[in-house]
């Protein structure tokens, strides 16, 4: 499907029924009117503080250089695109990744094939620019968003066409997972993202009453789906198997479940 | 802002909350460092908490060292996924091998209660066959004890936690649970449906160490689904709330935020206590008659290796070169299915239904041992990480699949991986903030493990499809690290005897998941706590011999049921008064 060109930027989202662009909205997702924050008086004090700070206290950039920060914004806009959100309702991602790196907070381990997280970001950002340069003779920041996705896809596939000296010292696909995990960790911690996916959010001390059959609690809402299509040149809307490094099972997951 | 339901926080309380009702008065007892106490326990986690309680109640002087904080659950814990990182061991470890393990949130806890603070609280027992897999199947190794020796401790700990579950549990040594099962959540519904359609027996509502009814000063479950983020409700058992309060009331001391850096030895080849760094980074020494290391399957071997000294150049209790070796993790693949109708898997405890129908060796399958299938309930961030692997999602694909979060259900495989000498914990070149070398973990899957994990994964996918999922994907994962200081009868091939006493040093014990020689397909927590209660009985019965001699009595000690914490004996009605 052809991209629709507007005066400002490429249109990314299309309503398949009408073929028209879907305008950005304050609250995308299939749960119209659902706001976890509206339930905050039912949360405990410690939780409310943590969640509200996420909205009210967006940290300053202290780890990334100004150049790196600009690059990170562009990258995170593709790892978790928010073109369907209006400007006032985009979830800030880079400041929280920056804070983690500035504070030196890690997840409790480092893969042998990886340098420490800070160094991984410094190197990885350079590598991404080198790939952009190789494919488009231009910096990542200066290419179109669809092209940016093509650059990033080479990391997802663990087949970067440039920056070999960087990837020789650092596992490509582990860097990819680090980046994607850091982004989802920030985005899906935000109450607006909870509204978008219909997740209940904090639940103490009230708890849940309707456990079976996917029924909503009285304060939750029924799902109301709408169709949306991503303009064809944006490759991230296709699911392709992630490349892996581990011998027997490719890319084992890293989250805890049981 | 409105007043919180449970009141505003004031200045730091003398009353330390362990749940909305349960509390403990601080400060606690404090021993002088010059005083030689009877027991030092390194790590107050699943095993350490039980040990501390038993030894204190039996009247011994006991100090527990814990690298993490003593939680005040109302202040420190949140009902939030991203805000719960402080529960995990987040300090550096290096992970490698052909199939590197993820650590951190995927594995171990830090803080009083250890991993029992963030576990899902599934509490199945091992099967009798688990204790003799080498005799029966020619793989792995036999335990130096039988199921029957551990059984009374299983029954005892199931009452102390206590465990809710079905009246009849048909696998292994069939048994029932004294406390009633929980209602089904969306994921349990999927497992029960899928299994039933395929003619696979399944149980629901447990066994889980989650209260189905109020108990002492603990409330029952409110089905909020945040078990892995620590239970603020106090419904899910952790040693912080089941055993530590009784320990403190009986004179035990916990030194929290204190990291033990080495176990010290004297000229006679006995340990004389520990060195540790306090919260300000100042190093101290505590003298003790006996040291018990309960630091988890990574930190325990790390500490033993870091304590090398003249006469013990390869680390303490390591004459067999098995400290750090035979580390195990279970194949913990997560199988995700998308359903047309909504599931909303964030509700209810993630752990609430399982089948052990494939647990035992089945010659028809062409491999030894087996696996279990259990419910899991990833919250959004964990689910997004799973989708990154299972579907390769990112960008718009990530946003799209996440909008369908409520349509997905997740089941967990728990497959037995065998003990191999090359799966091990060693010391890395990197050091932590105290200057102590960190652990380096190496993990390689072997052929037997691959075949089993593949078969198991496919079976779970089949169950998911039978339940009606239209799309089924999976991510591989490993869960539950144990081994690395294994027990055995032969000092040449094991670190400790069947009571946790090291073969090499008469007054040094190991008591935690590291002592397990094999792991079965059961979550290890109940077994770890049952072994801890048994080690405690051994220490109590033979304290005189252990304090002063090398004598190694092997006669099983009597089980001391009267030393269990009294308030965990099922009084039923919560104490609402005097909050
Ligand atoms: C997400 C998740 C879900 C789980 N679900 C289940 C489940 O459903 N059922 C189940 O049975 N198991 C489950 N587990 C596993 C279970 O939590 C662990 O197996 C168990 O807690 C291990 O007990 P332990 O006594 O060996 O160590 P831990 O409980 O981890 O205790 C070790 C303690 O020692 C402290 N420590 C370590 N080194 C030092 C030192 N040098 N100085 C001072 N202190 C130190 C640590 O801070 C820690 O608190 C789960 C684990 C995870 C990660
Ligand atoms: S689901 Fe139940 S046991 Fe789990 S955290 Fe919530 S109240 Fe606690």
Query: Looking at residues B421-444, what average pLDDT do you find?
Result: 98
Contact A258 B376 (CB under 8 A): yes
End-to-end CA distance of chain A: 42
Residues lining ligand 2, Cβ inside 6 A = B 210, 221-227, 231, 233, 235-236, 349
Give the closest residue to B152 by CA, choosing from B485, B537, B497.
B537
pLDDT at residue B436, rounded to an integer: 98
What the block records as the tokens of B185 is 């959540």
Instruction: Give the ligand whose atoms come closest to the C-alpha of residue B347.
Output: 2
Q: Distance from B362 to chain A by nearest Cα, in Å? A: 24
User: Which of the residue ranges A5-14, A241-250, B23-32, B309-318 has the most confident prediction, judged by mean pLDDT?
Assistant: B309-318
pLDDT at residue B2, rounded to an integer: 43
The pLDDT > 90 percentage for chain B reads: 89
Task: List the 10-69 stretch of A: residues with Cβ below 8 A of B.
Answer: 12, 29-30, 41-48, 50-51
In angstroms, what is the span from residue B109 Cα to ligand 1's centroid? 5
User: Does residue B534 register a pLDDT over 90?
Assistant: yes
- Hey, which of B113, B218, B236, B241 would you mutate to test ligand 2's pocket, going by the most ligand atoms within 8 Å of its Cβ? B236
User: Does residue A117 register a pLDDT over 70?
Assistant: yes
A8 burial level (CB within 10 Å; 0-12, 13-18, 19+): exposed
Determine, yes or no, domain membership for B44. yes
DSSP B32: -
CA B39/CA B546 separation, integer angstroms: 11
pLDDT at residue A11, rounded to an integer: 72
Query: Looking at residues B384-405, what average pLDDT do you find?
Result: 97
In angstroms, what is the span from residue B558 Cα to ligand 1's centroid? 27
Determine, yes or no, domain membership for B28. no
β-pairing verdict for B94-96 and A110-111: parallel
- Does residue A10 or residue B407 have the better pLDDT? B407
Which band of pLDDT confidence, cut at 50, 70 and 90, is reported for residue A249?
A: confident
CA B268/CA B486 separation, integer angstroms: 25
Ligand 2 atom at shortest distance from the alpha carbon of B230: 5
Give chain B's radius of gyration (CA, Å): 23
| Residue located nearest, by CA, to atom 6 of ligand 2 | B224
The secondary structure element, H or E, covering residue B46 is helix B46-57
In this structure, what CATH number is given to the domain that contains residue B240? 3.50.50.60
From the list B102, B343, B391, the residue facing A254 with the nearest CB is B102
One DSSP character per residue, B387-447 reads HHHHT---HHHHHHHHHTGGGEEEEEEEE-----TTSEEEEEEEE-TTSPEEEEEE----H
Residue of A nearest to B395 (CA): A79
Q: Is B329 on the interface with A (CB under 8 A)?
A: no
CB B512 within 8 A of CB B300: yes
Contact A198 B406 (CB under 8 A): yes
Quick: pLDDT tens for A124-145. Answer: 999 999 999 999 999 999 999 9
Quick: pLDDT tens for B508-530. Answer: 999 999 999 999 999 999 999 99
Give the closest residue to B44 by CA, choosing from B75, B17, B14, B70.
B70
Q: Is B234 on the interface with A (CB under 8 A)?
A: no
Determine, yes or no, domain membership for B369. no
Quick: pLDDT tens for B268-285. Answer: 999 999 999 999 999 999
From the list B406, B444, B476, the residue facing A214 with the nearest CB is B406
Which band of pLDDT confidence, cut at 50, 70 and 90, is reported for residue B115?
A: very high
Quick: pLDDT tens for A141-169. Answer: 999 999 999 999 999 999 999 999 999 99
Residue of A nearest to B1 (CA): A41
Query: Looking at residues B452-468, what average pLDDT do you find?
Result: 98
Quick: pLDDT tens for B468-500. Answer: 999 999 999 999 999 999 999 999 999 999 999
Spell out a b/e string for B479-518, using b for 16 or more CB atoms within 10 Å of the CB, else e. bbbbbbbbbbeebebbbbbbbbbbbbbbbbbbbbbbbbbb
Find the range with the poorest average confidence among A87-96, B6-15, B60-69: B6-15
CB B43 within 8 A of CB B244: no
Spell out a b/e string for B118-151, using b for 16 or more CB atoms within 10 Å of the CB, else e. bbbbbbbbbbebbbbbeeebebbbbbbbebeebe
CA dihedral A222, A226, A232, A238 (to 10 degrees): 20
CA A90/CA A28 separation, integer angstroms: 11
Spatial CB neighbours of B1, under 8 Å, sequence gap ≥ 6? A48
Which band of pLDDT confidence, cut at 50, 70 and 90, is reported for residue B108?
A: confident
Quick: pLDDT tens for B221-255. Answer: 999 999 999 999 999 999 999 999 999 999 999 99
| Residue located nearest, by CA, to atom 8 of ligand 2 | B231
- Hey, which of B296, B330, B427, B435 would you mutate to test ligand 1's pocket, going by the most ligand atoms within 8 Å of its Cβ? B296
What the block records as the tokens of A235 is 């490759």
Spatial CB neighbours of A178, under 8 Å, sequence gap ≥ 6? A114, A117, A120, A124
Range of the domain at B492: 35-180+209-327+422-443+483-573
DSSP B199: T
How far CA B323 is from CA of B41, B319, B422, B515, in Å, comes to 19, 9, 12, 10
- Does residue B23 or residue B301 have the better pLDDT? B301
pLDDT at residue B5, rounded to an integer: 45
What's the mean pLDDT when you consider all of chain B?
94
pLDDT at residue B279, rounded to an integer: 95
CB B42 within 8 A of CB B293: yes
pTM of the model: 0.95
In angstroms, what is the span from residue B515 Cα to ligand 2's centroid? 29
One DSSP character per residue, B283-325 reads EEEEEEEEEEE-SHHHHHHHHHHHT-BTTBTT-TT-TTS-TT-
Determine, yes or no, domain membership for B520. yes
Contact A249 B453 (CB under 8 A): yes
pLDDT at residue B568, rounded to an integer: 59
User: Does residue B571 register a pLDDT over 60?
Assistant: no
Spell out a b/e string for B522-557, using b for 16 or more CB atoms within 10 Å of the CB, else e. bbbbbbbbbbbbbbbbbbbbbbeebeeeeeeeeeeb
Long-range contacts (CB closer than 8 Å, 24 or more residues apart) made by A213-218: A213/B186, A213/B189, A213/B341, A213/B342, A214/B186, A214/B341, A214/B342, A214/B343, A214/B344, A214/B406, A215/B342, A215/B344, A216/B344
CA A76/CA A149 separation, integer angstroms: 11
Determine, yes or no, domain membership for B318. yes
Quick: pLDDT tens for B436-450. Answer: 999 999 999 999 999
CA A178/CA A251 separation, integer angstroms: 12
In angstroms, what is the span from residue A90 Cα to ligand 2's centroid? 32
CA B569/CA B218 separation, integer angstroms: 12
What the block records as the tokens of A179 is 């980046």
Quick: pLDDT tens for B197-225. Answer: 999 999 999 999 999 988 888 999 999 99
pLDDT at residue A63, rounded to an integer: 98
Question: Around Cβ B203, how many Cβ atoms within 10 Å?
Answer: 25
Return phi, psi of residue B485, to 5°.
-155, 60
Report whether residue B260 contacts ligand 1, using a CB cutoff of 6 Å: yes
Residue of A nearest to B349 (CA): A211
pLDDT at residue B34, rounded to an integer: 86
B430 burial level (CB within 10 Å; 0-12, 13-18, 19+): middle
Determine, yes or no, domain membership for B137. yes
pLDDT at residue B7, rounded to an integer: 45
Q: Which residues of A touch B394 (CB under 8 A)?
A: 79, 152, 156, 180, 236
Sign of CA dihedral B384, B388, B391, B393: positive
Determine, yes or no, domain membership for B187. no
Quick: pLDDT tens for A192-236. Answer: 999 999 999 999 999 999 998 899 999 999 999 999 999 989 999
The helix, strand and coil proportions of chain B, stated in percent and rounded to the nearest 5, come to: 30, 20, 50
pLDDT at residue A5, rounded to an integer: 41
Domain range summary for chain A, segments of one domain joined by +: 13-248
Residue of A nearest to B96 (CA): A112
pLDDT at residue B12, rounded to an integer: 52
- The domain total for chain B is 1
What the block records as the tokens of A153 is 């896809």
Q: Which of B399, B431, B440 to mutate to test the interface with A (most CBs of A within 10 A)?
A: B399
User: Does residue B258 register a pLDDT over 80?
Assistant: yes
In angstroms, what is the span from residue B351 Cα to ligand 2's centroid? 10
Which band of pLDDT confidence, cut at 50, 70 and 90, is reported for residue B8?
A: very low
Contact A29 B93 (CB under 8 A): no
Spatial CB neighbours of B52, under 8 Å, sequence gap ≥ 6? B41, B44, B62, B64, B243, B244, B247, B252, B254
CA A133/CA A174 separation, integer angstroms: 22
CA B130/CA B142 separation, integer angstroms: 8
CA B20/CA B425 separation, integer angstroms: 39
CA B439/CA B441 separation, integer angstroms: 6
Report whether residue B42 contacts ligand 1, using a CB cutoff of 6 Å: yes
Question: Around Cβ B184, how many Cβ atoms within 10 Å?
Answer: 20
Where are the extended beta strands (E) located within B131-210?
203-204
User: Does residue B152 register a pLDDT over 60?
Assistant: yes
Report whether residue B172 contacts ligand 1, using a CB cutoff of 6 Å: no
One DSSP character per residue, A64-110 reads S-HHHHHHHHHHHHHHS--TTB-GGGPPP-HHHHHHHHHHT---S-E
Find the range with the poorest average confidence among B176-185, B239-248, B377-386: B176-185
User: Does residue A122 register a pLDDT over 80?
Assistant: yes
User: Measured in whole angstroms, how far is the alpha carbon of residue B402 from the centre of its chain?
Assistant: 30
Contact A108 B388 (CB under 8 A): no
Quick: pLDDT tens for A90-110. Answer: 999 999 999 999 999 998 999
User: Does residue A88 register a pLDDT over 70?
Assistant: yes
User: Does residue B574 register a pLDDT over 60?
Assistant: no
Task: List the 164-203 stretch of A: residues with Cβ below 8 A of B.
Answer: 177, 180-181, 184-189, 193-194, 196-200, 202-203
The pLDDT > 70 percentage for chain B reads: 95
Determine, yes or no, domain membership for B261. yes
CB B403 within 8 A of CB B316: no
How far CA B262 is from CA of A9, A17, A116, B308, B338, in Å, comes to 61, 68, 26, 8, 50
User: Does residue B4 register a pLDDT over 50?
Assistant: no
How far CA A97 is from CA of A58, A103, B23, B202, B380, in Å, comes to 11, 10, 36, 43, 18
The pLDDT > 90 percentage for chain A reads: 86
Give the closest residue to B73 by CA, choosing from B213, B196, B218, B186.
B218
Q: Which of A37, A81, A225, A257 to mutate to test the interface with B (most CBs of B within 10 A)?
A: A257
CA B250/CA B310 separation, integer angstroms: 38
In angstroms, what is the span from residue B41 Cα to ligand 1's centroid? 15
One DSSP character per residue, A178-197 reads HHHHHHHHHHTTSHHHHHHH
| Secondary structure class of B122 (helix, strand, coil) | strand
β-pairing verdict for B94-96 and B437-442: parallel
| Residue located nearest, by CA, to atom 4 of ligand 2 | B227
pLDDT at residue A9, rounded to an integer: 57
DSSP A11: E
How far CA B310 is from CA of A8, B264, B321, B444, B549, in Å, comes to 73, 11, 16, 32, 21
Q: Is B71 on the interface with A (CB under 8 A)?
A: no
């Amino acid at each position: 499907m052809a991209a629709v060109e507007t005066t400002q930027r490429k249109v990314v989202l299309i309503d398949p029924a009408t073929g028209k662009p879907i305008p950005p909205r304050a609250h995308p997702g299939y749960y119209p009117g659902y706001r976890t924050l509206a339930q905050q008086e039912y949360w405990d004090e410690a939780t409310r503080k943590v969640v509200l700070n996420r909205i009210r206290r967006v940290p300053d950039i202290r780890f990334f250089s100004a150049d790196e920060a600009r690059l990170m914004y562009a990258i995170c806009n593709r790892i978790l695109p928010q073109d369907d959100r209006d400007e006032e309702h985009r979830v800030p991602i880079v400041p929280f990744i920056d804070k983690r790196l500035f504070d030196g907070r890690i997840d409790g381990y480092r893969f042998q094939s990886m340098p420490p997280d800070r160094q991984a970001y410094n190197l990885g950002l350079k590598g991404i620019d080198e790939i952009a340069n190789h494919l488009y003779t231009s910096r990542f920041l200066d290419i179109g968003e669809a092209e940016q996705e093509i650059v990033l896809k080479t990391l997802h596939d663990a087949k970067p066409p440039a920056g070999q000296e960087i990837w020789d010292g650092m596992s490509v696909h582990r860097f990819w997972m680090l980046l994607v995990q850091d982004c989802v960790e920030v985005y899906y911690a935000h109450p607006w993202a909870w509204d978008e996916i219909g997740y209940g959010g904090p639940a103490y001390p009230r708890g849940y009453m309707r456990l079976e059959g996917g029924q909503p609690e009285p304060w939750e809402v029924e799902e109301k789906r709408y169709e949306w299509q991503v303009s064809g040149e944006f490759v991230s809307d296709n699911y392709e198997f992630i490349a892996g490094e581990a011998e027997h099972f490719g890319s084992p997951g890293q989250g805890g479940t049981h | 802002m409105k007043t919180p339901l449970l009141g505003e926080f004031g200045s730091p309380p003398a009353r330390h909350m362990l749940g909305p009702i349960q509390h403990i008065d601080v400060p606690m007892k404090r021993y002088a460092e010059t005083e030689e106490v009877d027991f030092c326990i390194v790590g107050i986690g699943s095993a350490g908490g039980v040990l501390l309680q038993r030894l204190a109640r039996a009247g011994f002087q006991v100090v527990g060292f814990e690298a993490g904080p003593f939680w005040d659950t109302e202040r420190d814990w949140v009902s939030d996924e991203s805000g719960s990182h402080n529960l995990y061991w987040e300090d550096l470890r290096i992970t490698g091998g052909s199939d590197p393990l993820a650590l951190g949130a995927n594995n171990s806890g830090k803080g009083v209660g250890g991993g029992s603070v963030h576990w899902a609280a599934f509490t199945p027992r091992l099967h009798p066959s688990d204790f003799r897999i080498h005799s029966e199947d020619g793989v792995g190794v036999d335990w130096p004890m039988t199921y029957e020796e551990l059984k009374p401790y299983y029954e005892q700990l199931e009452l102390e936690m206590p465990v809710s579950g079905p009246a009849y549990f048909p696998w292994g040594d069939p048994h029932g649970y004294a406390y009633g099962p929980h209602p089904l959540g969306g994921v349990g519904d999927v497992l029960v449906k899928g299994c039933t359609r395929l003619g696979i027996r399944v149980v629901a509502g447990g066994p889980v160490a989650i209260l189905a009814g109020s108990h002492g000063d603990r409330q029952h479950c409110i089905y909020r689904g945040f078990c892995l983020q620590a239970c603020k409700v106090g419904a899910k058992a952790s040693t912080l709330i089941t055993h530590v309060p009784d320990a403190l009331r009986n004179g035990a001391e916990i030194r929290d935020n204190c990291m033990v850096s080495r176990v010290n030895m004297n000229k006679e080849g006995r340990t004389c206590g520990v060195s540790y760094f306090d919260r300000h980074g100042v190093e101290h020494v505590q003298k003790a008659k006996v040291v018990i290391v309960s630091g988890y399957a990574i930190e325990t071997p790390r500490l033993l290796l870091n304590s090398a000294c003249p006469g013990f150049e390869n680390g303490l209790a390591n004459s067999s070169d098995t400290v750090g070796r035979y580390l195990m993790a279970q194949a913990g693949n997560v199988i995700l299915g998308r359903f047309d109708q909504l599931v909303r898997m964030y509700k209810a405890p993630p752990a609430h239904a399982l089948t052990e129908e494939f647990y035992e060796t089945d010659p028809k399958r062409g491999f030894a041992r087996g696996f279990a299938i259990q419910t899991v309930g990833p919250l959004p961030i964990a689910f997004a990480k799973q989708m990154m692997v299972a579907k390769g999602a990112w960008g718009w694909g990530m946003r799209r699949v996440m909008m369908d979060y409520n349509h997905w259900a997740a089941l967990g495989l728990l497959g037995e991986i065998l003990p191999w000498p090359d799966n091990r914990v060693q010391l890395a070149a990197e050091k932590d903030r105290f200057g102590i070398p960190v652990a380096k973990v190496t993990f390689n899957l072997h052929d037997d493990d691959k075949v089993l994990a593949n078969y198991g994964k496919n079976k779970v996918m089949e169950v998911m499809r039978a339940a009606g999922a239209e799309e089924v994907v999976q991510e591989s994962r490993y869960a539950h690290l144990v081994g690395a200081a294994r027990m055995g009868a032969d000092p040449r091939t094991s670190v400790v005897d069947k009571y946790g006493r090291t073969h090499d040093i008469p007054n040094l014990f190991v008591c935690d998941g590291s002592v397990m020689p094999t792991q079965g397909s059961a979550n290890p927590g109940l077994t770890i706590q049952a072994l801890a209660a048994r080690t405690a009985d051994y220490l109590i019965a033979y304290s005189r011999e252990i304090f002063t001699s090398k004598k190694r009595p092997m006669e099983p000690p009597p089980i001391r049921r009267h030393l269990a914490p009294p308030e965990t004996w099922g009084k039923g009605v919560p104490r609402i008064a005097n909050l």
